[in-house]
Amino acid sequence: MVFAAASMFAACGSRQEKTLGTETAEPAKPVVVKEVHYVNRTPAAPVQQQAPAKKGWSGKAKGAVIGGVGGAVVGAAVSDKKGKGALIGGAVGAGAGYLIGRDQDKKNGR
36-45 per-position pLDDT tens digit: 877 776 666 6
Q: From CA 76, how far away is CA 95, in angstroms rounded?
A: 17
Say which amino acid occupies 68. G
- pLDDT tens, residue by residue, 11-59: 555 554 455 555 556 767 788 888 887 777 666 666 677 767 677 889 9
Q: With CA atoms as reference, report the closest residue to 88 among 100, 99, 72.
A: 72
